[in-house]
Amino acid sequence: MPKITGGEAINEIRKTDKKTRIIVLTSLEDEHLINAFLKYSDAYLLKTRETPKDFLKKLDEVAFTEKQEVRDYILQKIKKSKEEKISLTRRQLEITYAIKHGLKNNEIANKLSITQRAVEKMVQNLFAKFKVKTRHELAVKFDEKKVYGKLTDEKDNE
């Protein structure tokens, strides 16, 4: 946190609103810090060890809700989204890999010997297929899926 520490933030929150529930999410695993945070917060979660399911369960516990079925539904949707396969043509794969490598539309067109307009149209189709709005989001989502084969440059085969 850039201006104050987590402990200072908790103290400020507690001064103004004692009913606010506080969950500390951190990568710090020092026993002294954990005990200090737990004294003033409602839960302590470690970024390096907790799963999304653990985090949602802790949210339910801290909020005293019985809505576990909603959490399970959300987790299932997240899981299904990650497992969903998207089929791509070889050309779409080539364009996606070119985008991942930072090439612009005109560079992709030159590399693949097609028109820039064809590249633009295919990029828009890829955005729709992956349900994204930017090239960066496309690259990230493409990497998350990890279901597509790998294209290699001829140089890599030498």
pLDDT averaged per 10 residues, the chain (length 158) = 80 84 79 72 78 80 60 61 73 92 95 95 93 89 64 41
- Per-residue pLDDT, 107: 96
- Per-residue pLDDT, 75: 62
Q: Which H or E element spans position 91?
A: helix 90-100
Q: How many helices (H) does the chain have, and how many strands (E)? A: 8, 2
Cβ contact 116:76 at 8 Å: no
- Per-residue pLDDT, 140: 84
Tell me which residue of 55, 53, 2, 52 sits closest to 24, measured CA to CA.
55
User: What are the angstrom distances between the C-alpha of 128 and each of 72, 125, 131, 135?
Assistant: 28, 5, 5, 12
List the beta bridge partners of residue 24.
Answer: 44
- Domain 90-153 adopts which CATH fold? Arc Repressor Mutant, subunit A (1.10.10)
Cβ contact 147:141 at 8 Å: no
- Per-residue pLDDT, 50: 79
Q: Which residue in the block uniquely carries the two structure tokens 């899926």?
A: 145
Rounded CA separation 6/64 (Å): 24
- Per-residue pLDDT, 122: 95
Rounded CA separation 59/36 (Å): 20
Q: What is the pTM of this model?
A: 0.45
DSSP labels for 96-144? HHHHHTT--HHHHHHHHTS-HHHHHHHHHHHHHHHT-SSHHHHHHHHHH
- Per-residue pLDDT, 126: 93
Work out the widest C-alpha separation in the chain, in whole angstroms: 66
- CATH 1.10.10.10 residue ranges in the chain? 90-153
